[in-house]
Structure 1
């Protein structure tokens, strides 16, 4: 395609490159501030990079480095999620967390971690001796020694939240360009002309929210990078729904310098997950599942909750976190026309709304917010609130494992941000994510999605 062809007509105040959770939150915040926003995503669907795989926890930031930008953004993002989730139709499953010590050394660290929580403004943490800990979680393994409770750690839907942010941005004037890799950019008199694989975009402010590719995009557009992405792979094991009754809290380990460690918790979809691992790699695209690692993860899960030995693991998945050589986020306004938002590792889901607030302040744009912004709602796919299959006229249940209906699928295919891939449809409706992993519903899904996907399901099966 000629670079002179306009991919999106007109001039935009802001172009957000990357439609992960952070990019979606940025688009929402700038659209609500009155900016004309373009979201540019190289994948055929949103949430296709780091945002597709995480633990789905809304963190308080109790264990973030004190005084860090990460801590500020997590705390601010947490508060805004509590404020807006009801208006957008997003779930909040109040569970609380236990930070559990499994050795004498870890137990000795608990008071320091509690003091860190206090310094981070999370004042309601509560020390539990072994008796109180086992009263709170009777199923814990024999090796658990002591814990403290973080009452306001919660579970959320990791995919509906960014979708809701992007949908609100669109309903308030933003435009989305998918399947469009940014190949180059040139400075204009008052901003940028971005060249993409689908044409050009004329914009005043570029925000690099490219996640796993953020450092390379900086190098491509501004000729330098101030950090290097070293992808950190996290593998997860997901257990069938009966396992969810084994733990009422999010069970957190004592973190170390590299990772928050292996978590055991329920999910918003009624399962129980164990993970993630923390494995640095060079590959930015592929998170390969390793049988030996997953078996070790299952063994660790069974040490934490011995009753997991009798439960069936129904799914495994892996994600990549955009880690860097630095502990804190890498958010920099290089000048008035270019901002980098990089190194948003495992806390991006919790911090996204706070990051967006921070970046809006950095941008210093002269904008007029709409007097009456639109507040759309997204369909609920959480197990803890009413689902579409419970209301009339849903057209029949297509995926029986996850109770996803024909109406839900059609809305995802035909809505304001129509899903272009099976992976995207999974994140909107939960299809193929249950016990049979799509064995029984794939044929009907292939028929329903014909003509909608960038790559047809039938072609993939050949």
Structure 2
């Protein structure tokens, strides 16, 4: 039997735990559908876990498991992003992609990749031969033997999108608590009482979007978890902006059973990115860098694009993906507990986030009658993409704070004064790209520290942040 949202003022309709890209999309969906929603994030800012490091590709789902939940969510997320991006001023770089065969064994696999894409409803994927590959990408090494061309794979800003999702939710009444860790809780059959570092918080339904700690959260609150997280580290190398001239399409490898492999791609910020690796580890917090592995990435990039030989590396970074014990999304409702599990969301989560939120709401809707907003407000996100007009090109920007990334005083001041200001240095960087260029904050760090003084939960120190694209 369905029932409308109760009007109890001391209990939220929905509490989302985890402020990554999926959590931000979840808060948006449920808020716009009329629920009273609270987001809990243990860090000082959103995107502080697995979501802060990815390859920023908007995927078509051409190579996702056919008929899987992952494919459904990717296609739904892809469509919704394209539908709302102009309303939020979110960038899109229409590059296309090629799954390139570098040896005869991989060449024989391309037809299967094209067939799977067609089975997945991505009908514009096609085989192209060696000559066509080099006509499209003249700087690729001559041992590129052929490719599956995927015109619909695009690049986006991986940080402004979830920021926009959450900003829109806040505009419609959602709430967020940072620096709030869930330590325990109990369910009385109707209401959850969560024990957190910010005190007791009551909610009728809990949505677990805790990423790398999703199974730990369920063990803590439910006594058991239906899945286990096995952190997978990905290391990345970011070449200088001058390298981007040598590539147009996203260059994907022929995948294997374990990983989609190393990608070569431009970024919307004007760099060229190579990665990620796929390294299993136990540590869920620290993603260390390995100089030998990073050199292997550089060598692999040079092998594929010889003109990258000697090209300066702007930055390196590593991130953890919340891989689970099964190669599939672990999404569902825990019966009788008012609990939704959203686990095992790996590299496709950026694309699928809006679709995952849509799917989870459909499960929730079976038990509740939504009261959606009659009209929507839309936040306008500042543009950080190099192929679109930047703030420094408009008068009145004040001064250039970060010359590597051409970040203006106005951009930093606007970020610090926004409805969702950064909680730490990483958040400020993701909102503005200050300190994320060639010098990694060597020249602008002191000025950024001066401007952000008193604004950040963790004040800017003299460290270097490896979160650059």
User: What TM-score results when the alignment is normalised by the length of structure 1?
Assistant: 0.96
- Distance in 2 separating the partners of 1:10 and 1:298: 54
Does 333-342 or 230-239 show the bigger shift? Answer: 333-342
- Distance in 2 separating the partners of 1:170 and 1:79: 23
Task: Give yes or no for the alignment of 1:329 onto 2:321.
Answer: no
- Distance in 2 separating the partners of 1:327 and 1:191: 33
**Contact preservation (8 Å) 1:250, 1:266:** yes
CA separation of 1:154 and 1:456: change in aligned 2, threshold 3 A: same
Does 241-250 or 329-338 show the bigger shift? Answer: 329-338
Look up the SS of the partner of 2:19 in the other structure.
coil
Residues 436-451 of structure 1: pairs in structure 2 closer than 5 A:
436-451=439-454
**Contact preservation (8 Å) 1:98, 1:251:** yes
Aligned position for 1:4: none
Deviation of 1:136 after TM superposition, in Å, equals: 0.8
Deviation of 1:458 after TM superposition, in Å, equals: 4.2
**Contact preservation (8 Å) 1:412, 1:418:** yes
Aligned position for 1:403: 406
Cα deviations by residue, 1:247-300 (Å, 9 ceiling, x for unpaired): 100000001111110000100100000000000100000010000000001111
Cα deviations by residue, 1:278-323 (Å, 9 ceiling, x for unpaired): 0010000001000000000111111111111131111001110000
Aligned position for 2:425: 422
Residues 2-401 of structure 1: pairs in structure 2 closer than 5 A:
10-335=10-335, 337-364=338-365, 365-401=368-404
**Contact preservation (8 Å) 1:332, 1:340:** yes
- Distance in 2 separating the partners of 1:386 and 1:197: 42
Look up the SS of the partner of 2:186 in the other structure.
strand
Aligned residue pairs total 453
- Distance in 1 separating the partners of 2:240 and 2:304: 17
Deviation of 1:366 after TM superposition, in Å, equals: 1.5
Look up the SS of the partner of 2:309 in the other structure.
helix
CA separation of 1:199 and 1:297: change in aligned 2, threshold 3 A: same
Runs of 4+ in 1 over 2 A off after TM superposition: 458-461
Task: Give yes or no for the alignment of 1:431 onto 2:434.
Answer: yes
Deviation of 1:400 after TM superposition, in Å, equals: 0.7
Look up the SS of the partner of 1:93 in the other structure.
coil
Does 263-272 or 361-370 show the bigger shift? Answer: 361-370
- Distance in 1 separating the partners of 2:59 and 2:68: 15
- Distance in 1 separating the partners of 2:118 and 2:200: 49
Look up the SS of the partner of 1:221 in the other structure.
helix
Q: Any gaps of 5 or more consecutive residues in structure 1?
A: 1-8
User: What TM-score results when the alignment is normalised by the length of structure 2?
Assistant: 0.95
Deviation of 1:189 after TM superposition, in Å, equals: 4.5
- Distance in 2 separating the partners of 1:201 and 1:412: 29
**Contact preservation (8 Å) 2:113, 2:148:** no
Deviation of 1:195 after TM superposition, in Å, equals: 1.2
Look up the SS of the partner of 1:407 in the other structure.
helix
**Contact preservation (8 Å) 1:207, 1:339:** yes
Deviation of 1:10 after TM superposition, in Å, equals: 3.0
- Distance in 2 separating the partners of 1:247 and 1:101: 17
- Distance in 2 separating the partners of 1:435 and 1:132: 34
Look up the SS of the partner of 2:341 in the other structure.
strand
- Distance in 1 separating the partners of 2:404 and 2:91: 21
**Contact preservation (8 Å) 1:261, 1:276:** yes
Q: Any gaps of 5 or more consecutive residues in structure 2?
A: 1-8, 465-469
Deviation of 1:191 after TM superposition, in Å, equals: 2.2
Cα deviations by residue, 1:88-113 (Å, 9 ceiling, x for unpaired): 11001100001000111101100001
**Contact preservation (8 Å) 2:11, 2:191:** no
**Contact preservation (8 Å) 1:413, 1:420:** no
**Contact preservation (8 Å) 1:167, 1:416:** yes
Look up the SS of the partner of 1:427 in the other structure.
helix
